[in-house]
Amino acid sequence: MLKALIFDVDGTLAETEEAHRAAFNATFRAWGLDWNWSREDYAWLLKTTGGKERMKRFQQNLPQDARRLTDDEIAALHKEKTQAYADILARGELELRPGVAELIEAAKAAGVRVAVATTTNTPNVEALAQCCWGRPATGVFEVIAAGDMVTAKKPAPDVFLLALERLGLPAGDCIAFEDSRNGVLSAQGAGLRVLVTPSAYTQADDFGSAEWVISDLRAENLPGMLAGAVMARA
């Protein structure tokens, strides 16, 4: 019996990546950096999980004489970027992807538990919940496993393993929801079945190993076993 749904956040619950990119670029300007990440830049950088890790990856390709940030500077800049992202969401500039709110509501009504397993940090999960649900993240999700709670980020399985540990459930009782290949590898590394809804930045990813790939989470697109376990019981 299906007992829990475990959701990735960025790209899965909402198309957040443009807000993240805007927050990065605004913070770069505030720091006097001439970095400006285009959509093409960001699509490439998203293959590296974690904001601090993306900055480190980016500056590896800078010209020899370009300014480079230390690890401490990257951490400080990322903290400011997180606040810039929260400010964007506080203005209501983000919507959930189709079907997300309805699926989560139906799952709760059916007694199916709802969790988050994400590479992003806890403040970003909180900002999204406040923006899209108008309440704290813990008012939406029973369990939150975030990137700032584990040592290794996706595609390592750590964050999904943490979610399963906090749910107290075996992987076979749960389904993971992802939008990226790194996310699929992470979830499957924890033994989970994975349903993928590709996002604007991950359309070209290889999802051949996922159990299901659908355009979005509207009821008519859900696989029969999921619809039967959640929608029919709600």
Reading the block at residue 11, the tokens are 């790209």
Q: Are 115 and 144 in contact (CB under 8 A)?
A: yes
- Separation CA 105–CA 143 (nearest Å): 15
Number of other CB atoms surrounding residue 98 within 10 Å? 14
For residues 17 and 120, give the distance between their C-alpha atoms in angstroms, rounded to a whole number.
Answer: 11
Alpha helices (runs of H) in 3-157, residue ranges in sequence order: 17-30, 39-45, 51-60, 71-90, 100-109, 122-133
Residue of 10, 158, 179, 205 with catalytic role: 10
H or E segment to which residue 144 belongs: strand 143-145
Active site residue 10: yes
Active site includes 8? yes
Q: Given 8, 158, 179, 205, which residue is catalytic?
A: 8
- Active-site annotation, residues: 8, 10
